[in-house]
Structure 1
Amino acid sequence: MSNSIVKPYIPLCEPNLKGNEKKYVAEAIDSNWLSGGSFLNLFEKQLAEFTGAAYAVGISSGTTALQISLILAGVEPQDLVIVPNLTFVATANAVKYIGAEPILLDINPETWVMDLNLLRNFLEKETYIEEDSCYLSVNHRRIKAIIPVHLLGNMCDMNDLLALANKYHLTIIEDAACSLGSFQNGKHSGTYGVAGALSFNSNKIITTGGGGAILTNDAGLAKKARHLITQAKSSTTDYFHDTLGYNYRLVNPLAAIGVAQMECLPMYIKTKQEIVGYYQNELSGIGAQFQLISSNTISNFWHVSFLVKNRNELISFLQSQNIETRPLWIPINQLPIFRACWGIDKDW
């Protein structure tokens, strides 16, 4: 019999469900309100109050939150939407879902969010304005919107982006899937643009198992979002649907999990910030390059990530020690469906 000690397995991340989740889910089930109900209303209220958004609309996922937000922003088939080249594929997929095409913008190598100098140069040299819309000069297609992704909790410089967006008539939709609990100049991620998309997937800082939310300060857009995600049913009794709708509601039992998670969110953020501080201190001697947090930004530090040489060797070694790590996402332009997309990079 071997005397070797088996080390406990340390996963990359796992949900923390040690609060009132079971209690609230049981209450939601006992209420017999599943599609909607008091927990959904409360969860949306918690999100709005925490983020400072006027409205929060619960939805089935962060991806569907992006898709509906693009529709709310008036993006139409054949339009172009600027997205960062380094993001989870859902950002670009949501653009494709509505028949639009992404323009892939390279990231700042230090902050890992959109390189706004590249964006400014591109807009000045390769676009033109006509009737309050921005068009790509090479093919005269409208560039309707831009989606900054607040990667790993870090935020794009939103004041700079707002100025560019206003000048070139671009609508901002924020992908805040990673950044619940991140603030810039005292303002929460997802509240700068016309809409912001949150995700509550099982690996996010809070989870509902599956789910998301749309943040907006526009009452009309919040009302339209609720209408679209309930199959665009325009009457509570008659089955009259006045436009193309979607079955994208966040259900009450999952919202009940969200209510319990929101009670713990400040503690989760504090813990994440302490963890990244520990890693930055302990790994300073191995040449690890950590993400530079943007000016005036408080990050939720959703995941601890860093650049390091011989990445695959490090991953293999940690795996041998029962420690799970993963590489960050493959750039969007290297995925088969997006290889033909227009790109903005440092060689442009």
Structure 2
Amino acid sequence: MKSASIVEFIRGTYQTNEFIPLHVPRFDGNEKNYVMETLESTFVSSVGKFVDNFEHKIESFTGTAKAVATVNGTAALHTALYMAGVRQGDLVITQALTFVATCNALHHMGAEPVFVDVSPVSLGLCPKAVDAFLCEQAEVTETGCIHKPTGKRIQAVVPMHTFGHPVELDELLAICQKWNIALVEDAAESLGSFYKGKHTGTIGDFGALSFNGNKIITTGGGGIVLCQSSDDGVHTKHLTTTAKVPHAYEFFHDEPGFNYRMPNINAALGCAQMEVLDSYLQQKRQLAGRYRDFFSDSEYKFVSEPSYAQSNYWLNAIICPDQEARERLLKETNAAGVMTRPIWKLMHRLPMFENAIRADLNNSEFIEAHLVNLPSTPIKFDVIEERNES
């Protein structure tokens, strides 16, 4: 299949000859109304009704005990890791095939990533690879799970639900329980994705969502910590609001906290976006279905959701037959005004993580060399169909 055919298909799908970006936000509902309400109220910062409303909407949608809104997804992950007991000097098992924010959060806590391979099905952390690494290099002691070669504590496992495709969470959870390790889900890309009927980010000890401008819904910038108990939720909220003890006028803080509160004006945007999330998810599944059908008889393999899960298809992706085909597709589609992107460079190829402990990364390296992301902004297909009919 030639790149020109792919460009023609994507232009036909989006019904435009203009530049087609990878993923942009849509504002189809009450975004302006709610944002204007915050401006008129003057409560645009960390106090206001929309923060509480947004957290409640996320709780209702995901089924988590408590959602705590933060200023961005990295702050949410940092907080989740802290709440899970990760501290300076700890090791955290995660994937090299991830966005750099996953590892940045660890770095700034003084923790170190340990890179283990991903599954070719989910593109996320592989349970068999995690178990093999632990069986070979770890032991459980009175002080926790210890990495035998370094003597450092392995405190958490952090899978990332790549492009919204859920990892095998039951298997990872069983491994974490066996080795006395916390499971923290980097669910930044997976709002609207479900693992065996449960929302991602709600199965591990903590989860973290992102609402960056390129996510399925956006608050401009923002994140959420998903807490599996109300007590953890109360503590997380306290921690992210500078650990200030409530008082009519005194300033007293009872532990080192973070100033990670989501501003009310961002939460207002999020409340409006949550009202249209279901329609975006439906449109994304329709788009993914069209891509799947288009590539079904080609040398390109469309990345479909795992059989055990329902993905939000945040970013659609294909696996190219070889690296040369990948490079050609990236070059020719972008030259034609259709934005495509490779997956991220593996984390151990970056200078700040090149010395990190790592296992064999064969699947990660294959995906890095073969995967291309395609335009994934949700489309109102009924509007396009009506336009075509007229």
TM bucket by the smaller chain?
over 0.9
Whole-angstrom distance in 2 between the partners of 1:141 and 1:149: 23
Contact map agreement 2:139 2:148 (CA 8 A) in 1 = yes
Q: 2:350 aligns with which of 326, 330, 335?
A: 335
Counterpart of 2:293 in structure 1 is 281
Contact map agreement 1:118 1:346 (CA 8 A) in 2 = no
User: Does 1:314 pair with 2:329?
Assistant: yes
Contact map agreement 2:218 2:269 (CA 8 A) in 1 = yes
Counterpart of 2:180 in structure 1 is 169
Pairs aligned (count): 342
Shift of 1:7: 3.1
* Secondary structure in 1 matching 2:242: coil
User: Does 1:305 pair with 2:288?
Assistant: no
* Letter in structure 2 aligned against 1:327: P
Q: 2:206 aligns with which of 195, 198, 204?
A: 195
Whole-angstrom distance in 1 between the partners of 2:214 and 2:117: 25
Counterpart of 1:14 in structure 2 is 24
Whole-angstrom distance in 2 between the partners of 1:301 and 1:7: 24
Q: 2:307 aligns with which of 290, 295, 302?
A: 295
Counterpart of 2:103 in structure 1 is 92
Whole-angstrom distance in 2 between the partners of 1:316 and 1:329: 16
**Structure 2 unaligned runs (5+)?**
1-15, 363-390
Q: What TM-score results when the alignment is normalised by the length of structure 1?
A: 0.95
Deviates more, 1:143-152 or 1:105-114: 105-114
Counterpart of 1:54 in structure 2 is 65
Shift of 1:97: 1.2
* Secondary structure in 1 matching 2:341: coil
Contact map agreement 1:112 1:291 (CA 8 A) in 2 = no
Q: 1:260 aligns with which of 272, 282, 302?
A: 272
Deviations 1:289-321 (A, max 9, x none): 232533320000001111113212112211232
Deviations 1:125-173 (A, max 9, x none): 2110101611111111100001111111111111111110000001011
Q: How does 1:184-263 map to 2 (within 5 A)?
A: 184-236=195-247, 237-263=249-275
Deviations 1:36-73 (A, max 9, x none): 21111111100000000011111001100010111101
Whole-angstrom distance in 1 between the partners of 2:301 and 2:119: 14
* Secondary structure in 1 matching 2:316: coil
Whole-angstrom distance in 1 between the partners of 2:33 and 2:114: 45
* Secondary structure in 2 matching 1:286: coil
Deviates more, 1:286-295 or 1:244-253: 286-295
Q: Which has the higher helix share?
A: 2
Deviates more, 1:103-112 or 1:196-205: 103-112
Q: 1:122 aligns with which of 115, 133, 144?
A: 133
Give me the CA root mean square deviation: 1.4
Contact map agreement 2:93 2:156 (CA 8 A) in 1 = yes
Deviations 1:204-231 (A, max 9, x none): 0000110010111222221222122222
Shift of 1:119: 1.0
* Secondary structure in 2 matching 1:305: strand
Between the aligned residues of both structures, percent identity stands at 40
Q: How does 1:134-153 map to 2 (within 5 A)?
A: 134-153=145-164
Contact map agreement 1:52 1:191 (CA 8 A) in 2 = yes
* Letter in structure 1 aligned against 2:74: T
Whole-angstrom distance in 2 between the partners of 1:216 and 1:183: 17
Deviates more, 1:255-264 or 1:276-285: 276-285
Deviations 1:246-304 (A, max 9, x none): 21110111101000000000010111111111011112233112325333200000011
Contact map agreement 2:295 2:302 (CA 8 A) in 1 = no
Deviates more, 1:307-316 or 1:134-143: 307-316
* Letter in structure 2 aligned against 1:294: P
* Secondary structure in 1 matching 2:287: helix
Whole-angstrom distance in 2 between the partners of 1:346 and 1:331: 9
User: Does 1:104 pair with 2:115?
Assistant: yes
* Letter in structure 2 aligned against 1:22: K
**Structure 1 unaligned runs (5+)?**
1-5
Counterpart of 2:375 in structure 1 is none
Shift of 1:15: 0.5
Shift of 1:328: 1.1
Q: What TM-score results when the alignment is normalised by the length of structure 2?
A: 0.85
* Secondary structure in 2 matching 1:285: coil
* Letter in structure 1 aligned against 2:218: T
Q: How does 1:53-92 map to 2 (within 5 A)?
A: 53-92=64-103
* Secondary structure in 1 matching 2:209: strand
Whole-angstrom distance in 2 between the partners of 1:161 and 1:307: 25
Deviates more, 1:291-300 or 1:247-256: 291-300
Shift of 1:346: 5.0
